[in-house]
Chains A and B, each alone.
Chain A
Amino acid sequence: MFDVYKVREDFPILCTDVHGRPLVYFDNAATSQKPQCVIDAVIDHYAQHNSNIHRGVHQLSERCSAAYEAARSKVRGFINAPRDEDVIFTSGTTDSINLVAQSFSSAYLRKGDEVIVTEMEHHSNIVPWQMACERSGASLRTIPFDDQGDLELHLLKEMISDDTRMLAVSHVSNVLGSVNPVKEMVSVAHGHGVPVLVDAAQSAPHIPVDVKDIDCDFLAFSGHKVHAETGIGALYGKSEWLQEMPPYQGGGGMVANVKVGGTTYAEPPLKFEAGTPNYIGAISLGAALDYMTGLGMNEIAAHEERLTEHMLESLGRFEGLTLYGDATLRCPVFSFNLEGLHHYDVGRILDKMGIAVRTGTHCAEPVMDHYGVTGTVRASLALYNTIEEIDVLLEGLERVRSIFA
């Protein structure tokens, strides 16, 4: 049984006050808070086991290497990847996407080719592809979405062609909360022999993510959004791609043999993990995923559905509030503006009431352009948020309205 009040006890920061009021943390799409077990895993590791991995023959190094590889195995389990070797540790989603955009593109992207993304991507799933296209002479195409926040899926079928080399799509929009039909999109893309990268940065914290079911070729997510440390993330790749793709960075740890005349690379995933990896981050990610799976991803999703329902009902009743996106399937990310008010002004007042929201473009300027706004207020919830906190937000918005009346 998912008991949110009990869950909250696991997160020390949720007991803190901000400006003399209990913190209401609604900025989870930016980063999530950490449960004590993750904090302890990091402290314990530094205090008891720390040593560089993979190279040492001594006890600590062996323990660290084992912990690092155990974390990889936990990531595999979390996303239901076939093999541990299909999981590469990166510094986060951005790094994961850049890895693919560099490695894949240098081998397969040529002048005249096309990469397809969507209009609702985070900049980190646009800019790396723009850069890859600039380098290769390929072009970038965009699948638009409708005002409700649903992708115009029929256009994918028209857009995809023999020239398409990659489809890169977010599983969940970081602004609108829309859950995109990635499985269906993969099926369309694969029908044309086109591989698909799924940006799961905003889905991994909220809903079960299953790479076998989605059948995507690549999937990226960040540790810090799933209650682990910052600076760690993962990239899943189908083994045939990881075998074929050239490495992204060179250095120690990613080689089999180095001679002055040439180098033989290690097998994946090590081929893509040059240098000392963020093994402490990986261990924290393992602990965080254990924590989430312990609660149960389906239970988390069900709790967040209740929050979503209450939030939509509350925001819907609030006069003069425009909610951007009302997708058929959604995660608890809510972007809105109050009539006549700047998002920054709204955010400043909410902050004074202890409510942490994000304001601005949320690294998704094409989404702002779609709605013709300079920014929005974004309240993004997580597994530890409550119905009562949503009510505090609504009281906050009333207060905002009275100040600017």
Chain B
Amino acid sequence: MTIVAAQNEIVAEFEGMADWFDVYEALVKMGRELGSLEEDERNDENSIPGCQSNVWLKMRMENGIIKLEADSDALITKGILSLLLRVLDGRPPGEILNTQLFFLYDIGLSTNLSPSRSDGLNNIIGTVMDFARNNGTQTS
């Protein structure tokens, strides 16, 4: 499944939800189902600045694809991270760099993408993009 297809799938899932209450319940559920990083991986190195809740992102290259793990101390944030992982985890850097992320706007979580200090989702996506850029040559 391409990044676009994965995003379309998420958008379709969320379109079926009646109201914000369902959306947040779903995010909480996804947050609960997302695994946790080990205590020693929830460190400064993996920490993403600018988030209201603590967010940790662990990234590595494995056979030309980017492996992502993420964690947060807030459940809604974990839910959003879980969606991001569905879209971005296990992709080659080139695909990440060359695809537009639209699903967060489409499912109405776009306020999370404001460039303000209190919303770190931009920083999370930016961190993945930087990692993809720095490791991009490995896939060519």
- A residues apposed to B, CB below 8 Å: 19, 341-342, 344-345, 347-349, 352, 359-360, 374-375, 399, 403-404
Contact residues in A for B75 (Cβ distance below 8 Å): 341-342, 345, 404
Q: Hey, which chain B residues are within 8 Å of A352, CB to CB?
A: 20-21, 24
A404 to chain B: which residues have CB within 8 Å?
A: 28, 75
Chain A residue at minimum C-beta to C-beta distance from B32: A404
Sample of 18 further A-B pairs with CB below 8 A, known A345-B77, A348-B24 = A19-B20, A342-B74, A342-B77, A344-B52, A344-B53, A344-B76, A345-B74, A349-B24, A352-B20, A352-B21, A359-B52, A360-B52, A374-B54, A375-B52, A399-B21, A403-B21, A403-B28, A404-B28
User: Per-residue 0/1 for B47-77: is the Cβ within 8 Å of any A Cβ (1 yes, 0 no)?
Assistant: 0000011100000000000000000011111
Q: SS class of chain A's interface: helix, strand, loop or mixed?
A: helix
Show the binding face of B for A, using Cβ within 8 Å.
20-21, 24-25, 28, 52-54, 73-77, 118
| Chain A residue contacts of B52, Cβ below 8 A | 344, 347, 359-360, 375
Q: In the A-B complex, list the 10 residue pairs whose CB atoms are closest, starting with the nearest.
A: A342-B74, A344-B53, A344-B74, A344-B52, A352-B20, A345-B74, A345-B76, A348-B76, A345-B75, A360-B52
Q: Which residues of B contact A341 (CB under 8 A)?
A: 75
In Å, the complex CA distance between A345 and B75 comes to 7
With CB as the reference atom, state the residue of chain B lying closest to A359: B52
Which residues from B are CB-within-8-Å of A399?
21
Tell me if A374 and B25 are in contact (CB < 8 A): no
Would you mind naming 25 contact pairs between A and B with Cβ atoms under 8 Å apart? A19-B20, A341-B75, A342-B73, A342-B74, A342-B77, A344-B52, A344-B53, A344-B76, A344-B77, A345-B74, A345-B77, A347-B52, A348-B24, A348-B76, A352-B20, A352-B21, A359-B52, A360-B52, A374-B54, A374-B73, A375-B52, A403-B25, A403-B28, A404-B28, A404-B75
Contacts of A349 in B (CB 8 A): 24, 76
* A344 CA to B75 CA, complexed, in Å: 9
Q: How far is the CA of A344 from the CA of B28 in the complex (A)?
A: 13
Least CB distance from B43 to A in Å reads 15
Complex contacts, A359 vs chain B, CB 8 Å: 52
B77's nearest neighbour on chain A, judged by CB, is A344
Whole-angstrom CA separation of A59 from B125 in the bound complex: 56
A399 (CB) vs chain B CBs: closest residue: B21
**Nearest B-chain residue to A351, judged by Cβ:** B111
Chain A residues positioned under 8 Å from B28 (CB to CB)? 345, 403-404
Give every chain B residue within 8 A of A348 (Cβ-Cβ). Answer: 24, 76
Q: In the complex, what distance in Å separates the CA atom of A344 from the CA atom of B55? A: 12
Instruction: Choose among B21, B25, B53, B73 the residue with the greatest number of A CB atoms under 10 Å from its CB.
Output: B53
Least Cβ–Cβ distance between B125 and chain A, in angstroms? 18
Closest Cβ of chain A to B112, distance in Å, is 9
- How many whole Å from B86's CB to the nearest CB in chain A? 20
Name the CB-closest residue of B to A348.
B76
Q: B44 CB to closest chain A CB, in angstroms?
A: 15
Report B117 CB to chain A, min CB distance, Å: 10
Residue of A nearest to B52 (CB): A344
- Docked Cα-Cα span, A375 to B75, in Å, equals 15
* Distance A18 CA – B20 CA, assembled complex (angstroms): 13
The answer to whether A342 and B53 touch (CB under 8 A), given A348-B76, A374-B73, A404-B28, is: yes
- In the docked arrangement, what's the CA distance between A347 and B73, Å? 14
Residues of B within 8 A of A347 (CB): 52
For B53, the closest partner residue in chain A by CB is A344
Q: How far is the CA of A19 from the CA of B21 in the complex (A)?
A: 12
Q: When chains A and B are docked, how far (Å) is the Cα of A399 from the Cα of B21?
A: 9
Give min CB distance, A239 to chain B, whole Å. Answer: 39
Interchain CA distance A19-B118 in the complex, whole Å: 19
Which chain A residues lie closer than 8 Å to B20 at the CB level?
Answer: 19, 352
Closest to B21 in A: A403
Rounded to whole Å, the gap between the CB of A374 and the closest CB of chain B is 7
In the complex, A341 Cα to B54 Cα: how many Å?
Answer: 13
A359–B54 alpha-carbon span in the complex (Å):
13
In this complex, what residue of A is CB-closest to B54?
A374
CA distance A345 to B74 in the complex (A): 6
| B78 CB to nearest chain A CB (Å) | 9
Question: In the complex, which residues of chain A have a beta carbon less than 8 angstroms from the beta carbon of B21?
Answer: 352, 399, 403
Least CB distance, B15 to chain A, in whole angstroms: 18
In the complex, what distance in Å separates the CA atom of A399 from the CA atom of B20? 12
Residue in chain A with minimal CB distance to B31 = A345
CB of B85, distance to nearest CB on chain A (Å): 19
